[in-house]
Amino acid sequence: MAEELKGKVMTTDAGRPVGDNQNSLTLGPRGPVVFEDFLLFEKMAHFNRERVPERVVHAKGSAAYGTFTVTNPDMAKYTTAKLFDKVGKQTPTFLRFSTVGGEKGSADTERDPRGFALKFYTEEGNWDMVGNNTPVFFIRDPLKFSDFIHTQKRDPATNLKSPTMMWDFWSLSPESLHQVTILFSDRGTPDGYRHMNGYSSHTFSLINAKGELFYCKWHFKTKQGIKNFTREEADNMKSVDMDYSQRDLFNAIEKGDFPKWRVQVQIMPEADAATYHINPFDLTKVWPHSDYPVIEVGELELNRNPENYFAEVEQAAFDPKNVAPGMGFSPDKMLQGRLISYPDAHRYRIGVNYNLLPVNEPKCPYSTYNRDGSMRFNANGGSTPNYEPNSFGGPTQHPKYVERPTSYSTSTVGRFSHREHDSDYYTQPGNLFRLMSPDAQERLVGNIGSSLSQVEQRIQDLQINHFYKCDPKYGEGVAKAIGRKIEDIVKKEELVSA
């Protein structure tokens, strides 16, 4: 079969030839994804249905209930969202941590990003912030998400995890360098969930009473202090306790040692986005704090364990489309893809009425005309109309909640190459490498070497060239870690110019 597929043109499931499988259909290079991107939605819909019944990603997770408390009196400058409207105001929350690539039965100390998904039960509906413990991600176009995740799962022939699949994809996707550097640093193996930060990673938006829009990134800084395992410690813990992180979180809360996070936000005025030297909607990039410093917002505390894991953790469903009035989205392509992909995955995995489950249900009054569907276990609207408009007093729209219009600088729809429009894959991961202490750099290249040494030389060469462009010491360190000479890998003219 592999020979038969060689040289064939890729098509959709219906046989339509695909002209570009690298870039989503967007409104200009920095604009949002458009609804007519049939290829993106086909790939996402198929990907969401590949595995039954556990989550396709973030399958192994731990969670707890808590409280968010406002400490900043000035949030009204940026948003009308009521959960921020006064100091001391508290909002109940639910936070699920997870590993990304492993199955439900995998170890929760694996080298992997960690999910950091928060549900705020606000008086204006649920706000779901689906983030990670890293401020960036491996890719910046949702069309590549299923391709990337496949490399983190199992080889279709051997059913084994494959370093070759991972490094082959990363070496051909240099935009992944920033996240790869974080993943193989100390932060890739956190010591439990309490000792790591969380980030929205995506760019969202806030809207104030004047209709002014501000782009933002959310940060959750652990008050327990950052603690990480070394590669050796993490590997040993897999043989000692596969559920170390779950046990640590549950036991800490059970004995009253409630973990806390400092909630912060970076704010970018809307006008800045058009001229900022970094694409502010690129999920592989951070906003330097020197340009947009973090602003203190409040404190998050986890203080109650779930009573039933399946009912409350396994059936928890987070939708990044769920934002409160005064909050919104951005042209972040990965975020735009997730607005469609996440609820689609929940409808498949849990059922169309997943939002009626207690852990997902809003704690404020709500009215919807959505009816019927599998496992509809409430009154289903009784005898009231299931259509709108109606003349029987059913719920109606309110103009004050209409989304704020957004203007874009171009009206051209096309598959714009994210590599052609931004090929600086190296500055930020290089800066991150240079920020590390010498011993942290040594652990980083050692962690990479232990994995990269298992793949063939041509992939090693391509990947080490990427590391070298980030910083010569980075490339040299990885080459040395796998027992090779940098002169045999990097082109001579690059060595001379360095």
Q: How many whole angstroms separate alpha carbon 204 and alpha carbon 81?
A: 14
Nearest residue to 216 via CA among 233, 228, 199, 229: 199
Q: How many whole angstroms separate alpha carbon 325 and alpha carbon 297?
A: 18
Instruction: Look at residue 46 in the predicted model and tell me its pLDDT.
Output: 78
Region 89-109: what's the mean pLDDT?
94
Q: Residue 496 — pLDDT band, cuts 50, 70, 90?
A: low
Give CA angle at 351 (350, 352), nearest 5°: 140
Residue 311 has pLDDT above 50, yes or no: yes
Give CA angle at 150 (145, 153), nearest 5°: 130
Q: How many whole angstroms separate alpha carbon 206 and alpha carbon 200?
A: 14
132 as an active site residue: the answer is: yes
Helical axes 333-349 vs 38-48, angle rounded to 10°: 40
Extents of the domains making up the chain: 23-167+189-364, 426-497
Burial of 96 (0-12, 13-18, 19+ CB in 10 A): buried
Residue 5 or residue 240, greater confidence: 240
Residue 437 has pLDDT above 50, yes or no: yes
| H or E segment to which residue 417 belongs | none
Identify the active-site residue in 132, 228, 353, 355.
132
228 as an active site residue: the answer is: no
Residue 493 has pLDDT above 90, yes or no: no
Identify the active-site residue in 23, 58, 178, 197.
58
pLDDT in tens, 78-94: 999 999 999 999 999 99
Report CA-CA distances (Å) from 11 to 141, 223, 415. 19, 50, 16
Give CA angle at 437 (433, 440), nearest 5°: 75
- In the CATH scheme, what is the homologous superfamily, with its name and number, of domain 23-167+189-364? Catalase core domain (2.40.180.10)
- Residue 234, number of CB atoms within 10 A of its CB: 20
